[in-house]
A and B are shown apart, each in its own frame.
Chain A
Amino acid sequence: MDSKEKLKLTFISLFTFIIQFYLSKSKFSEALSKRIEISTPVSSFLRVQEGLFLYRRGLDPYSGGVYYQSPLILFLHFSCELLGGVDAIRILYSFLTVASGWLVYKISEKYQENKKHRDLYCGTSSLWISIIYLLNPLTFLPNIACSSDVILNFLTLAFIYFSIQGFQVGYACTVALSLFVNPGTISLVLPSYYILKQSNPKASITGTFFVFLFYMSCLIIGSAILLQTFTFLMTPLHVYMNAHDLTPNIGLWWYFFTEIFEEFRLFFLFVFAVAPVMFIIPITIRLQKLPLIATVLMMGIHSIFKIYPSIADYSLFLSLLPIFGKAQENMKYSLLANNGIVFALVLGTTFYHSWITLGCGNANFFYASNLILAIGISLKAMDFLRAVLMIEWRSKHPEKKNEPLVQIP
Chain B
Amino acid sequence: MGLCKFVLVCLCSFFALGYASLNEQYNEALYLENLSNRHTYASFTFEIDKKTNKENGYAFSEPNYQFFPLSLARIMKDQKVMDLHVRATKGRWDYGFWKQPPDNGLQSGGLGFEVWASFIDDQDLEAWYKLTSQLSGLFCFSSNNIDELNTYQPLLSFVPSSFTSSHSRYFASLPQESVCTENLSSLLKFLPCKGEAGIASLIDSHLLFDTDWYSLSIDIAPNHPDDLSSMKLIVKIQTVIDVERTNRRKLGTKFPPPPEFCNDDIANDPLRCLTATYTSSSHTLEDLFHKLPETQCPLSPSKDDILVKNSPSLVVSYPLEMARDISVPVLPEKRPESPVFIERSLTNSGNHWVGIISIFTNPSDEAYSIVYFERLPWYARVYLHTMKITVNDKPISPLEFFQDQVYQPLKDRKAGTMIESRFEIPAHSSVVISYDIEKTTLRLQEYPPDANRGYDLPPSIVSVFGKDDVEICQLRTSALLMFIPTPDFSMPYNVIILTSTVMALTFGGSFNFLTRRIVPISELPKSQKPSLLQRLRSKLKRKDRNST
Contact = CB atoms under 8 A, between A and B. Distances in A.
B353 A407 contact: no
A403 B383 CA distance: 63
A378 B412 contact: no
Interface stretch (B1-9, B172-180, B518-526): B518-526
Given A53-B384, A363-B488, A65 B378 contact: yes
A393 B506 CA distance: 23
A260 interface: yes
B495 interface: yes
B350 A357 contact: yes
Given A390-B518, A393-B518, A407-B518, A375 B499 contact: no
* Interface footprint category on A: 35 or more
Q: Is the interface of B mostly helix, strand, loop or mixed?
A: mixed
A79 interface: no
A46 interface: yes
A408 B517 contact: yes
B363 interface: no
A402 B546 contact: yes
A65 B412 contact: yes
Contacts of A262: 443, 445
Interface string B434-452: 0000101111110000000
A246 B385 contact: no
Interface residues of B, number: 58
Contacts of A246: 440-443
A220 interface: no
Contact of A259 (B495, B515, B522): B495
Interface in A323-367: 330, 355-357, 359, 362-364, 367
Interface string A358-402: 010011100100010011001101100110011001000000101
Contact of A364 (B488, B514, B545): B488
B385 A407 contact: no
A282 B510 contact: yes
A368 B259 CA distance: 58
B204 to A, nearest CB: 42
Interface in B464-503: 485-488, 491-492, 495-496, 498-499, 502-503
Interface in B342-368: 350-353
Contacts of B495: 255-256, 259-260, 367
Interface in A239-298: 244-248, 252, 254-262, 275, 279, 282-283, 286
Nearest to B409: A64
Contact of B513 (A258, A261, A385): A385
Contacts of B487: 255, 258-259, 363
B409 A283 contact: no
Contacts of A378: 502, 505-506, 509
B323 interface: no
Contact of A34 (B352, B412, B506, B507): B352
A225 interface: no
A52 interface: yes
A355 B485 contact: yes
B377 to A, nearest CB: 12
B202 to A, nearest CB: 47
A305 interface: yes
Contacts of A362: 488
A245 B502 contact: no
Given A382-B510, A404-B548, A407-B512, A357 B505 contact: no
Given A65-B410, A255-B495, A405 B521 contact: yes
A233 interface: no
B510 A256 contact: no
Interface string B367-395: 00000000000100101111000000000
Nearest to B487: A363
Contacts of B492: 259-261
B413 interface: yes
B413 to A, nearest CB: 7
A359 B385 contact: no
B515 to A, nearest CB: 7
A227 interface: no
A197 B351 CA distance: 51
Given A259-B491, A367-B495, A63 B409 contact: yes
Contacts of A390: 518, 548
Contact of A258 (B351, B411, B443, B520): B443
Contacts of A82: none
A304 interface: yes
21 contacts: A50-B385, A244-B412, A248-B441, A258-B443, A259-B487, A259-B492, A260-B495, A260-B496, A282-B514, A282-B515, A286-B514, A357-B351, A359-B351, A362-B488, A363-B485, A378-B505, A379-B509, A385-B513, A386-B513, A408-B528, A409-B516
Nearest 5 CB-CB pairings of A with B = A64-B409, A53-B385, A382-B509, A407-B516, A403-B520
